[in-house]
Structure 1
Amino acid sequence: MVLPVKRRKGLTVDDYERGIMQGDRAILAQAITLIESNLPAHKETAQNLLTRLLPKTGRSIRIGITGVPGAGKSTLIESLGNMLCQLGYRVAVLAIDPSSTRTKGSILGDKTRMDSLSKNPNAFIRPSASGGNLGGIARKTREAMLLCEAACYDVILVETVGVGQSEVTVRSMVDFFLLVLITGAGDELQGMKKGVVELADAIVVNKADGDNKMKAANVKTEFNRILHFLEPATPGWISQANTCSALNGEGLEDIWSMIRSFRQNTISSGYFHERRKKQKLDWIYSMVEEHLRASFYKNAEVLLCTPEIEKSVEKGSLTATNAAVKLLEIFENSTSPTKSSREEVERTNEHSL
């Protein structure tokens, strides 16, 4: 394995590809920064790199981990990651830090929280700001996973911020979805919607140690009862609840054994690859929606007309629905081709036929 090098400037696509394939963590980190960039030149380079690396991807197990703040997700990921590294696996952690809704800034503290794992040469930790995106999932998490797979990481752990729609978003990009809970937080669903439990392939009650061990066992039993009445998150797999202690490592081997069984069963049934195919298609339309949203808010005509339309809504002379219709009409008219342009396109299409 090539040891990490200092950050290099002016890297070419060849440099990125070579560094990633050789396991250079510094270049892998730079490549993820490249794909997260909004600069047009960076986007083109990033897509060229991904196109080259695509044949080298898809061999890992992608695991999403979510849970309310305080459930011990980061501690669990570090303990699980260290155990997997000792077993000979290479582990990549993509941790999404919540961005401030006001400043868009982020603490990006996961490397601090996972100090032991971050020093392991067989592990790679990448904290990324959510940027205020839906559910706190960083815009380029999917592409970051592909880069990590091309760098020969066997296990990809994606940690969500554990709020709102983040679980739905991460479910659409991983193979196995793990929900981390704790006892003693009032309602055992801990303010989380029933839908979140329905998405989970497994539930882990963390901090099952000391005086809390018996309580955790009771919560596990209760959740197994609940899961019995819910439709499985993955066809052919029975979702289940377990306990663990990220602090002393108890239960971690059981979690990994369960994930391995999940992968083996879903590969045998064919659902593993079917889910991967569906995720690729979901990714297309996710990117289309993102592009349309960005195009709308950057449109010159929309920006010009927005202040007046907003004033009308504030005064009560225009409903919000009609305001939205007006803005969309402005956008559509500004982006639609002229009549002559449309006729030219139609003639070209007829000629091609």
Structure 2
Amino acid sequence: MPELTTDKNAYIRPSPSRGHLGGVTRSTNEAVVLCEAAGYDIVIVETVGVGQSEFSVADMVDMFTLLIPPGGGDELQGLKRGIMEMSDLIVVNKSDGDLVAAAHRMQYEYISALKYIRSRNKQWKAPVKRVSSVTGEGIEELWEILQKYRKTMENSGDFLSRRQTQQKSWMWTHLNENLMSVFMQTYGMKQILKERERQVMLGMISPGDAADSLLQEFLKTINQSK
């Protein structure tokens, strides 16, 4: 990071998630498009690291990478499907110094776990690579993997189809956010929502019934305003 911040060819923009689920902020898609328009041909989106719910970014990027440090208590993650099923590449970083042995062990564990997980793409099986930003070990090989992945996806036609899927997901994200915004700004809905939340917390009504009730109240208000 200290090197990147002084590199005139690199641009770094921190964006707080502000409670938005999925590990990214609401405007991440727009930020990616803006960077591409500015001439940056490589855009890396780093999430806040929310673990198993870190799926939103998978619909924004061409290659979804799971980055894991050795000795961080994440060994059991290799036994969980979730985020690993979405991963196109798994990178064990900080493979240097006293952590080399732990990095090797974690690499083997993830390689073993991937044998029981269906690949996200039929043309590509997620590799597990060890790297170190301190010693530089594995960095060049990692870049070769990225290039090989893109070439494989382009040749199979999956690269274009994933880009098209990204656009569709982006549309639905905007629609969901806009609908929620309209819902919250509709007269009287905030008060009704607070009351339903209170009832749910007290066990007076189930979450599903509360959601159905809120939707009915919302539609009633919209129809009355016509």
Can you give the 5+ residue segments of structure 2 that lack an aligned partner in the other structure?
A: none
Alignment of 1:180-219 (within 5 A): 180-186=67-73, 188-190=75-77, 193-219=80-106
Q: What's the offset of the Cα at 1:330?
A: 1.5
Of 324, 328, 332, the residue aligned with 2:211 is 324
2:44 corresponds to 1:160: no
Question: How big is each residue's C-alpha offset from its partner over 1:241-290, in whole Å with a ceiling of 9 and x where there is no partner?
Answer: 11111212111111110000000110011000010001101111111111
Q: What's the offset of the Cα at 1:220?
A: 1.6
Alignment of 1:1-353 (within 5 A): 114-164=1-51, 166-186=53-73, 188-190=75-77, 193-310=80-197, 318-336=205-223
Shift in alpha-carbon separation, 1:261–1:337, aligned structure 2, 3 A: farther
Can you give the 5+ residue segments of structure 1 that lack an aligned partner in the other structure?
A: 1-113, 342-353
CA distance in 2, matches of 1:209, 1:323: 52
Q: What's the offset of the Cα at 1:221?
A: 2.4
CA distance in 2, matches of 1:221, 1:269: 29
Cα RMSD of the aligned pairs, angstroms, is 2.4
Question: How big is each residue's C-alpha offset from its partner over 1:282-339, in whole Å with a ceiling of 9 and x where there is no partner?
Answer: 111111111111221222121243455555556665454433333221111122377x
The amino acid of 1:246's aligned partner reads S
Q: What is the TM-score with the length of structure 1 in the denominator? A: 0.59
Q: What is the TM-score with the length of structure 2 in the denominator? A: 0.89
The amino acid of 2:113's aligned partner reads I
Shift in alpha-carbon separation, 1:123–1:300, aligned structure 2, 3 A: same
Contact 2:119/2:126 (<8 A) preserved: yes
SS at match of 1:175: coil
Question: How big is each residue's C-alpha offset from its partner over 1:48-98, in whole Å with a ceiling of 9 and x where there is no partner?
Answer: xxxxxxxxxxxxxxxxxxxxxxxxxxxxxxxxxxxxxxxxxxxxxxxxxxx
The number of residues matched between the two structures is: 226
How many percent of aligned residue pairs carry the same amino acid?
39
More strand by share: 1
CA distance in 2, matches of 1:119, 1:278: 35
Q: What's the offset of the Cα at 1:118?
A: 1.4
Report which structure shows greater RCO (CA 8 Å, sep ≥6). Answer: 1
